[in-house]
Structure 1
């Protein structure tokens, strides 16, 4: 029976298309060749066509097959290693890594990180890096408040199942919610506002853009080098249109994929 199983496994591997047959380079695009190789392999891994444990060809072998320089493949593989997708196996090639499942939260309603993680079946936790009362002219202009208005600036790392998911810097309007200055903010700020300040956030304006992390943020996410991330900026309001929060959250691109439902 064992030999039959191993034979079936070998047959399954034989039926799987080779990487060389799946990567198609284009000459009618401004995208560099190394980036084309990187992005196509990334898509193959995330789609499951190259599952964890798959062995990719050595750099020279893939370069010869694709008709490109070895440096091109080296750069593509290096970028995929930075994205925690590959492990080097020396002369044998590269191994597709097993990694935590991506989270796919929806953007259908206002909710904080803690609630979002719980909805996804993960245990949320927080580490506070910095907490200080500040006056900031540029932040005051975002809130539409005088330049000397006091804000609580809160810098936190947010975790899901002990994996660092985001680094966020948030400013809170202490004139509207003074209880935040000395409150316990290791959990949900939104829950604290509702329970201890009688303030409920009901609406937000939010933008999402692609960006690259700083060296400090790479260290937080355990990246070997800069990898694409999502920068989410949010302004949150009460029912009477009082702005309470402005937050800039950097979410790791290898773990987050936002899901939207659009209706006609």
Structure 2
């Protein structure tokens, strides 16, 4: 029964927080108040509050109590279209900073299949952290073939926009392949990069970028979006 009460407290507090019952920075009721309201021991309330804190919804201030964490404003973004993330943020008027966090050979089997890699071809993965208006919001993992871009190992750490990189090499007519959406939870490294807890779900978008003229796959992409920073408009899923 206490487990059911724990879940009830979490659900009702989440609803209260998300619907403006408590404003950003506002103080939550004390453990004693919540324990009396739900007629449960204080440790049941504490477990529920600890869960909300792990999800990044509230924060504790020593000697003052628990407060609704302000957090970033959600950005409404379409997951369709042929424009890059950089171009989308520019169109929406947001300040975007990109940092390359990795450029390494990859053993991702799905990427190798999507790119039609030969057995002796090397698939490179370029990881880029997207910081929007000062808030880390997404990680883009771009997979490309060394046989198509022979200098990618050296040039990868300097790439801020893959579309610009392709255009500089004669590509300009891009199309999107099939896209797949799923929900995942961040690894320890992703928690650190995105400044989020392990309980903040991420929206994973896997897709391909094709050369519109030849139909060849230029890139296999896996993008991790923080679920608490975007509102998504979905029609025909493309990236």
TM-score interval (norm. to shorter): 0.7 to 0.9
> Residue 33 of structure 2 aligns with which residue?
61
> Residue 196 of structure 1 aligns with which residue?
169
> Residue 180 of structure 2 aligns with which residue?
207
Q: CA deviation at 1:191?
A: 2.0
- In the alignment, the residues of structure 2 paired with residue 194 and residue 131 of structure 1 have an alpha-carbon distance, to the nearest angstrom, of 20
Q: CA deviation at 1:169?
A: 2.3
- In the alignment, the residues of structure 1 paired with residue 188 and residue 66 of structure 2 have an alpha-carbon distance, to the nearest angstrom, of 26
Label 1:126 to 1:63 Cα distance change in 2 as closer, same or farther (>3 A).
same
Aligned residues: 233
TM-score by length of 1: 0.75
Q: CA deviation at 1:65?
A: 0.7
Rg bigger for which structure?
Answer: 1
Q: CA deviation at 1:135?
A: 6.9
- In the alignment, the residues of structure 1 paired with residue 163 and residue 4 of structure 2 have an alpha-carbon distance, to the nearest angstrom, of 44
**Structure with the bigger percentage of helix:** 1
**Structure 1 residue matching 2:77: 3-state secondary structure:** coil
Q: Which has the higher contact order (CA 8 A, sep 6+)?
A: 2
After superposition, the CA RMSD in angstroms is 2.8
> Residue 46 of structure 1 aligns with which residue?
18
> Residue 115 of structure 1 aligns with which residue?
87
**Structure 2 residue matching 1:105: 3-state secondary structure:** strand
TM-score by length of 2: 0.82
Q: Deviations over 1:8-27 (max 9, x none)?
A: xxxxxxxxxxxxxxxxxxx9
Q: CA deviation at 1:183?
A: 3.9
Instruction: Name stretches of at least 5 consecutive residues in structure 2 with no aligned partner.
Output: none
Q: CA deviation at 1:33?
A: 4.0
Match among 131, 150, 157 for residue 159 of structure 1: 131
Instruction: Name stretches of at least 5 consecutive residues in structure 1 with no aligned partner.
Output: 1-26
Match among 129, 141, 152 for residue 101 of structure 2: 129
